[in-house]
Structure 1
Amino acid sequence: MLYAKTPAHEKRRLFRERLATGELLCFPGAFNPLSAKLIERKGFDGVYISGAVLSADLGLPDIGLTTLTEVAQRAGQIARVTDLPSIVDADTGFGEAMNVARTVQTLEDAGLAGCHIEDQVNPKRCGHLDGKEVVGTSTAVQRIRSAADARRDDNFLIMARTDIRALEGLDAAIDRSKALVDAGADAIFGEAMRDLSEFEQLAAALDVPVLANMTEFGKSELFTVDQLRDVGVRMVIWPVSTLRMAMGATERALDTLLSEGNLTSQLGAMQHRADLYDLLDYEEYNSFDSSIFNFQITK
């Protein structure tokens, strides 16, 4: 009832234990708290909260326009409804060293299990667009060192994302990643790898878990979970997939309204009210107050 039964510090501890096993953990992206509950129900390992999704949710492009307050609030709303660990995209840390430190502590307080901080120049761009710029190694290292020093829960995952592959190649990405690990990164998010071989080389060069971003319409091929596992990847995210599916379905529904005048033909594609109420645990609330749930749902 209400929110997750597992406190944030315990979610972080359990997540670290799972990550230490070396198995591949799957984190679909949640675009709201309800979708996070569905991700948990389907048996995934964790929830990913994308900066691009949070921007899109506000009707904004993913170019660094969101604030720490907006991201922490929405990410906290998503994290608190699931017993799964939730990882959030913290962009460039919303500033430099001191801002990054504040970001980490704010996200800890919001109940997140971890975040990733990237090495792009502000204003940032989506990782699979052209025209990106990255900061120098010293600035990137300072961001990660500030994040690692600021956390109060050692199990809060500090992941470093590097976008340097698209600009300077794989060797530069490996060198940058090693410097970020030395600065305190617990995991590496190498953005826009070109093929499986690049993921394999990055993973082999590092002593920390590597994350793969399987975003549609980007620069990386959409590899399967088995393919990624076989080359040593230890986390995979599908950051915008559920939002894209939801928006595609919404557009089709609106087109149907315009062409047919009702949605009768689309009923089979909808989540049934009974399924929604089950996901929301309506019946569990009955044990708290029978006046809340005192009806029968028929299909």
Structure 2
Amino acid sequence: MSRLRELIDSGRVLVVPGAANALTARVIEDCGFPCVYVTGAGVANTQLAVPDVGLLAFSELAAQVSAIRTAVDVPLIVDADTGFGGPLNVHRTVRELERAGADAIQIEDQTFPKRCGHFEGKNVIAPADMVAKVHAAVDARADDGTLIVARTDARAVNGLEDACERANTYHEAGADIVFVEAPRSEAEIETVAAKVGAPQVVNFVVGGATPLLSEQRLQELGFAIALHANLPLLAGIEGMQHALRLLRDGAPLSDAPLATWEERQRLVRRAEFEQLDSRFSTEEVR
């Protein structure tokens, strides 16, 4: 059984922060979280400085997944947006992301180009078309331990009942985990928990459509994963802006919430690289 499956089957809600790069993933792992979510929105924001509106290319995502996999040992849930096309594209996407190190791969039922799940103006494909994508994703994985996450954005388009029906349909088609994006109240979150008969993700975006609930409440409702996809990104933006404003205004940098030099070097494992370099260094020629 895969480590991620064990975590989900434990019966405890799995709190998963999101990372857009290898260092953020390392910090998440270092803080004791047992899983990392590779956020497509975060990669688009940090690597391209663009909004989450379908501009991220598959190759750009795959490169980040590979880098993150090298940096951390914990399982990775990878946001693959719409799968970058139809069922054939999904098949290749899943196969390549699995090779890059994904332990779970998420695809969604939006039309292309997709939009952030908490943006307005979304559209969704027909359920049958998404079922074909789920079938392709399940067929593509080389390891049954690689989990397929099927997300529906139908709440914003057709209403909550359709979103729940779609989630159940995608689970029946073979998705291991389902994800009703952007319920708009605690009552709607409770409805999703009651009507969808599969392991589920609930996604919290600070400032987004879904209200924040406590881990205890999510545990009571039976959610498998509590996703905080862009919390580290938001914290990083605020921290950078704070420090840079102090620098711009000539204020003491001691007022900035900065990591120490030593902490930075610890996180990038400088000591390990120095030890490795020492092993392979040649003796001075006499």
Do residues 65 (structure 1) and 55 (structure 2) align?
A: yes
**Unaligned 5+ residue runs, structure 1?**
1-11, 293-299
Do residues 56 (structure 1) and 45 (structure 2) align?
A: yes
Q: Which moved more, 1:182-191 or 1:204-213?
A: 204-213
2: CA distance, partners of 1:161 / 1:111: 21
Aligned to 2:6: 17
Aligned to 1:29: 18
Q: Is the 8 A contact 2:185 2:210 kept in 1?
A: yes
Amino acid at match of 1:86: L
Q: Is the 8 A contact 1:163 1:191 kept in 2?
A: yes
Amino acid at match of 2:272: E
Select 1:106's aligned residue among 96, 106, 110: 96
1: CA distance, partners of 2:107 / 2:54: 12
Aligned to 1:282: 270
Aligned to 1:193: 183
Q: Which moved more, 1:234-243 or 1:191-200?
A: 191-200
1: CA distance, partners of 2:279 / 2:130: 55
Identity %: 38
Q: Is the 8 A contact 1:76 1:110 kept in 2?
A: yes
SS of residue in 2 equivalent to 1:64: coil
Q: CA-atom RMSD, angstroms?
A: 1.7
SS of residue in 2 equivalent to 1:80: helix
Select 1:235's aligned residue among 225, 237, 247: 225
Amino acid at match of 1:275: E
Q: Is the 8 A contact 1:162 1:173 kept in 2?
A: yes
Select 2:35's aligned residue among 46, 50, 67: 46
CA shift, 1:91, in A, is 0.5
CA shift, 1:266, in A, is 3.3
**Unaligned 5+ residue runs, structure 2?**
281-286
1: CA distance, partners of 2:68 / 2:31: 16
Select 1:155's aligned residue among 139, 145, 168: 145
SS of residue in 2 equivalent to 1:29: strand
Q: Is the 8 A contact 1:159 1:187 kept in 2?
A: yes
2: CA distance, partners of 1:263 / 1:81: 34
CA shift, 1:146, in A, is 0.9
CA shift, 1:148, in A, is 0.8
Q: Which moved more, 1:60-69 or 1:274-283?
A: 274-283
SS of residue in 2 equivalent to 1:188: strand
2: CA distance, partners of 1:100 / 1:275: 40
CA shift, 1:286, in A, is 4.1
CA shift, 1:263, in A, is 5.0
Query: What is the aligned length?
Result: 279
CA shift, 1:208, in A, is 2.2
CA shift, 1:100, in A, is 0.3
Aligned to 2:86: 96
SS of residue in 2 equivalent to 1:244: helix
1:8-66 CA-partner distances (Å, limit 9, x unpaired) = xxxx8111112112211111011321111111111112101111111112112211111
2: CA distance, partners of 1:200 / 1:187: 17
2: CA distance, partners of 1:22 / 1:204: 16
2: CA distance, partners of 1:264 / 1:61: 31
CA shift, 1:103, in A, is 0.2
2: CA distance, partners of 1:123 / 1:13: 32
Aligned to 1:4: none
Select 1:264's aligned residue among 237, 250, 253: 253
Amino acid at match of 1:22: G
1:57-110 CA-partner distances (Å, limit 9, x unpaired) = 211221111111110111221122111111111000000010000000010010
